[in-house]
A = this chain, B = another copy of it.
Amino acid sequence: MNQIICTVDIVLLTLHEGVLKVALLKRDREPFKGVNALPGGFIHSNEDSDVQDAALRVLKEKTGIDAPYLEQLASFSGPARDPRGWSVSIAHYALVSFDVINSAAHPDIKLVSVDRPSSLPFDHRSILETAVSRLRSKSQYSSLPCYLTGETFTLPQLQRVYEFLMGEALNKVSFRRKITEMDMLEAIPGQFETAGAHRPAQLYRLKKIFRQQLQLLDRGL
């Protein structure tokens, strides 16, 4: 049996000022010391219960963030992606609201637009593109976009997040029917948001069981 380097990398995504952004961290060791990269690290066989657990641990250690939603993305592998040798990185993606990143107040987290071309080490560009593509396609038929909003939101706010990720305008009536069908939200009694000349809008939050577990639609939005 040959020695294979086993790591996890995490694509931590958030929405900020209407732009989908990814969290990068300056690497504190070789290879690529000092370069901005996706947070990542070795799997620790003495403490991790599986690769998802490793990804949650690495994210917490490196950024201070407990991801409310983190999912396995895919494995990236080969002899050349890491100068240390043949490696497999099991990439995950996590979604958080900007508030969570902001309150983690980690001095070294750099948020950059996912569309902004920047040079990333290893095959992190490819991992990032795979994550964004997965998020966009899965938004069509799941509660995924909810993890990018704040803890509470109005239905028009949520619809705008879905539209932003899917890249298309959605019909309000059919959007609300699908959201009702997913049965993942609860109205917060007595809480409304007042914006401009509109009448106050009911505030919603994810039902507790869906805060860490995705809800899916059989048919897309």
- CB-CB nearest in chain B for A84: B1
Nearest CB in chain B: distance from A177 CB, A: 16
The CA-CA distance from A32 to B220 in the complex, in Å, is 42
The listed residue (B45, B49, B72, B79) touching A2 by CB distance below 8 A is B45
Interface size on A, residues (CB 8 A): 27
Nearest CB in chain B: distance from A201 CB, A: 29
A43 close to B88 (CB less than 8 A) = yes
Q: Copy number in this complex?
A: 2
The CA-CA distance from A48 to B75 in the complex, in Å, is 14
Check if A188 is an interface residue, CB within 8 A of chain B.
no
Check if A86 is an interface residue, CB within 8 A of chain B.
yes
The listed residue (B45, B86, B219) touching A220 by CB distance below 8 A is B219
Check if A6 is an interface residue, CB within 8 A of chain B.
yes
Residues of A within 8 A of B (CB): 1-6, 42-46, 48-51, 72, 74-75, 77-79, 85-86, 88, 90, 219-220
